[in-house]
Amino acid sequence: MILLKKELRTLVTGVASGIGRSVASSLRDRGDIVFGVDYQSGDGWLKADLSMAAERERVMQTALEELGAIDVLVNVAGIYRPTPFGESTLKDWQSVWDVNLEAPIDLMSQAFSSMRAQNFGRVVNITSVHAKLSRQDALAYDVGKAGLEAATRSFALAGAEFGILANSVAPGFVRTQMSINESGIDETDTEEFRLQYIESGRLPLRRASQPEEIAEVVSFLSGRSNTYITGQTITIDGGLTATF
């Protein structure tokens, strides 16, 4: 059965800035009723700490009360902390996994019954090229993103018979707050980035992406036009992972 209601009822996390903000804007523009969540305070979304299970339950309960049901879930919220081997602990890793892995899995699990009841659902999880490419100082981030892609595939299998499609979107370099380094400079504007990725040809399109470019793909995957793509990871990286 295809959902006939005009507006999709959509929950998006990480809406205060960057990819999440662009996704929420894009989905509103197509007519979705968007319920936004972010760790930062602001008008137009619910403030919540997604690292805490009780907070995630509050988010889902509030979203269901306001929307009536969840048709679309887009998990964008994420954090990055350096966690090199030998210099980080399980506590350090877990603090990253709480937000980047456990939170989206928990929200998917909570949204499942609502989607199943309607025989319709769309889930998009924002992962990263870090799911396939590793950095020495990014242990927890790499593992979390790889784990989320695996969880997305599992969810896609569980939801298939109920008209629920789930996919991951894995960006490469994106000009967002997460790309701003400790000196307050966007890493994609540095000389190191220019030499390592632009001049070397490792990044064939020779630029970082904009959040809006990621949002366009999310919009398709999370909408009614997507009727057959599920359990996949769509990489948007300007050709970064096509080179070696």
Active-site positions read 141
Taking every pair of C-alpha atoms in the chain, what is the biggest distance, in angstroms? 54
Q: Position 138: which residue type?
A: A
Structure token pair of residue 49: 């700490």
Alpha carbon distance 131, 96 (integer Å):
14
Do 88 and 131 meet the contact criterion of CB atoms below 8 Å apart? no
Do 228 and 220 meet the contact criterion of CB atoms below 8 Å apart? no
Alpha carbon distance 26, 206 (integer Å):
25
On the 0-12 / 13-18 / 19+ scale of CB atoms within 10 A, 159 is buried
Alpha carbon distance 180, 207 (integer Å):
15
The CA R_g of the chain, rounded to the nearest whole Å, is 18
Which residues lie closer than 8 Å to 7 by C-beta, 6 or more apart? 31, 32, 33
Strand ranges in 39-93 using DSSP code E only, listed in sequence order: 46-47, 72-75
